[in-house]
Amino acid sequence: MTDKFLGAVIISNTTDWHDVTSDFAAASGAASWVQNQGPGTVLVAYTDSAVAPIGGARLEDGDFFGATGAHIWVRLRRADYPATLAIGLGATVPGNGASGGGGGGAVGGSVAVSNFPATQAISAAALPLPAGAASEAKLEAVRALLASPLAVGGTVSVSNFPATQAVSAAALPLPAGAASEAKLEAIRLAVGSPLQAGGTVAVSNFPATQAISVATLPLPAGAATAVGQVSAQASLTAIAASLPGALGAKAGAASTSVVVASDLANLEPGGAPITGQAMPAGGVGLTGWLSAIYYAGVNSPLPAGAAQIGGVLSYLGYIDSTTALAAGASWPGTTRTPSSSNPFYNYFNASVFADQAGTLYIERTINTGASWELATPGVAVAAGVPASASVRMTGLQTSATSYRVRFVNGATAQTVFRLSSSFSAN
């Protein structure tokens, strides 16, 4: 099949699997390739199943991977690192000169057109144009014909505009003196003082005594008497005397203190220790619990060599084998159980380098090794080219759930073999 670039897909903000054949149907069932043009890391899996896989080959920025499958699944390794993927047919990335996994150049190129005419024809409704149709002299003649009225700043003369304009009112003519200043003054005098500026209105029947309404009458006995006010003042004086005279720290005798033995429970009326935990010997109350927590933190150091951030070991790696394999031999790595080292790991990873071609697998057991199943499709490893695979751990992680890496050598015996695995948080 001729190598052909189909297009590109951008994935971002999710780690869900996406089937590329839904965008490029021509890639389904055909020899094709996927190239990661970065910046994020992606996982790629070729399958014949319409169900999304649980793992795939890991492609860094610039890596590509080729195979044949009815479905081509891709996803981001981290949702906050988007990636652009180039998709094409054939066994070779155009401009790259190689197929399979590994680094390579970006998909691109150009097409040269040697017979493109130097002069391009321009089509109009009727050619040729009339003589002088597009000349400056013709435009000047048009402007002169329009003259002043339509020129910028021009004027239009109206010769029949009447010197006197009619004004319409509801009833004409107006009464004699209707719009005179003398008539307006007569109106002002008729209105008089109350409505003039600064005028006053006299109310002769306003009662000397005004009623006051409250919610409930009559008021309680002594409510508005001097005796009641004196009693309230005495209460306020007593309260003020019991408060410190100024802000800031005070000795017990000069402050409003609490009795610890009887009042400390008010700080956490619902407080109780967790089930099965008792106060360490010598501890009392909140201070005792806090000192016990501090002691446990200071006297529980991390394991030697562990790099811990926020209580989670971010990485734990293993060397599975450096022993060269015979032709056709298979090497199953050591069983790795995440719950025995750190329950917060999210990924199990594998990497390999060999001087002969082979296939890299990640396997999983959920029954303490009684049976093993593929966690990712096999990754084809070229001779002398590093390769890796990664799977996100899902489901219930118990002591019966473990992972391992397995490598199957090709038809030629190895002389160099490096196989390793790791757990990581991301």
Domain at 4-103: CATH code:
2.60.120
- Longest CA–CA span in the chain (Å) reads 129
pLDDT tens-place values along the chain, 426 residues long: 457 888 999 998 888 999 999 999 989 989 999 999 989 999 999 999 999 998 889 999 999 899 999 999 999 988 888 999 999 988 766 554 434 444 433 333 333 445 556 665 666 566 667 776 767 777 777 677 766 666 666 676 777 878 787 767 677 777 777 777 877 777 777 776 666 677 777 777 888 887 777 677 777 776 767 777 888 888 898 888 778 777 877 776 677 666 655 665 666 655 666 776 777 788 777 787 788 787 766 665 555 555 554 445 577 889 999 999 999 999 999 999 876 556 677 899 999 999 999 999 999 999 999 999 999 999 999 999 999 999 998 877 788 889 999 999 999 999 999 999 998 888
pLDDT at 108: 37
List alpha helices for 42-178, DSSP H: 136-150
Residue-range domain boundaries for the chain: 4-103, 312-424
CA-nearest of 289, 318, 346, 326 to 407 is: 326
3-class state of residue 72 by DSSP:
strand
Strands 387-392, 347-354: pairing is: antiparallel
The one-letter amino acid code at 381 reads V
Q: Do domains 4-103 and 312-424 have the same CATH topology?
A: yes
So what's the pLDDT on residue 304?
53
Looking at 2.60.120.680, 3.10.580.10, 3.40.50.1000, 3.40.190.10, the CATH number of the domain 312-424 comes to 2.60.120.680
**CA–CA distance, 113 with 318 (Å, rounded to integer):** 56
User: Is residue 360 within 8 Å of 407, Cβ to Cβ?
Assistant: yes
Q: Give the model's pLDDT for residue 178.
A: 74
Q: Which of these, 301, 316, 300, lies nearest to 425 by C-alpha position?
A: 316
pLDDT at 124: 59
Q: What is the residue type of 280?
A: P
- The arrangement of strands across the sheet holding 55-59 comes to 18-19, 71-76, 42-47, 55-59, 387-392, 347-354, 417-424, 315-321
Q: What is the model's pTM?
A: 0.31
Nearest to 12 by CA among 61, 82, 64: 82
> What is the DSSP secondary structure assignment for residue 326, as one 8-state letter?
P
Q: What is the pLDDT of residue 75?
A: 92
